[in-house]
Amino acid sequence: MAAAASTPRVDDPCSRLPEASGSARNYLGSTLSERWELSCRDQMPRFLPRPHRPVYLLPVSWTSRSNRSPGPASSESPDNGVVQALDLDKNEAKFQISLKSKIWALDDHGTFSVWGAYTQNSRWQVYNGRESRPFRETNYEPELILTHGTDVGLPFGWKASMVSLSFNHQSNGRAVPLSRSWNRLIGELSLERGETTVSLRPWWRILNTGSDDNPGIQDYAGRGEVLVTQKLGRHVLALTARHSLKGGDRSRGSAQLEWAFPIGGGLHGYLQLFSGYGESLIDYNFRESRIGLGVSVVEWR
């Protein structure tokens, strides 16, 4: 009787999977289900580090104009403006690392899971020997993410694969007058069809009770974004568009295009084009156009 009680149900698809679920096949993840473990066949051990956002190194990151006097656009935060202009080069190096790990799961079906994630990107004035080659800006972004696999069919072959809600903190870890930070609640709806994914991500800023390092940041860096990714063989294209969701002189935003192309093994060439506001926290209210070229080991998928 005891043996019969432990026999898996015939109608349970997870009972028919081999023991090797969570192998190297889906470690990097080529689909939303693999990246976020939305089904029983995609489960990996908890607390195992996984790729989150693209991981890249850009030895060349050239901007159309340098933000030599970063500061708020108004007098709402007078202590956060730079008095003496900075001596900056238009070309610098940029790199990003980004990891996540599943902390808790309700079950093995991707019903509800909690993830911890961390992203860090830096802009390094490596060619600026006049100023001893400083790191101009580093942004630190930890977040806690609750995900829910949906697997809902939509018209024209689309599928709603996942919804999520995250608490996101982003700061540059610097003192006044260069301190910048904000907290957000970010919702997300992820859709996919074949090799195309679309993620809709509105967010709500959690205002500080004290002073504000970057007043009105939502009118520049936006109140939400749309991320579209397209795989073409081993090539990956990604477009991220942000907007303030306001009209008139408060209608601002940005667009970033990324292209990862194969070089050899797991290494990809990586091209990044950006135009608009908020390329980094210190530049949240500064408009620029930027082009970067380098390599990546993890891309949007």
Give me the catalytic one of 109, 148, 169, 243. Answer: 169
The whole-angstrom separation of Cα 232 and Cα 263 is: 15
Give me the catalytic one of 21, 101, 122, 171. Answer: 171
From the centroid of its chain, how far is CA 108? 25
User: 231 pairs with which residues across the strands?
Assistant: 236
Is residue 109 part of the annotated active site? The answer reads: no
Residue type, 184: R
Q: Closest Cα to residue 227, out of 194, 195, 188? A: 188
Is residue 164 part of the annotated active site? The answer reads: no
Residue type, 226: V
Distances (CA, A) of 98 to 61, 82, 246: 19, 30, 31
Residues 6+ apart with CB under 8 A from 165: 145, 146, 185, 186, 187, 188
Q: How far apart are the first and last CA of the chain?
A: 47
Active-site residue set: 169, 171
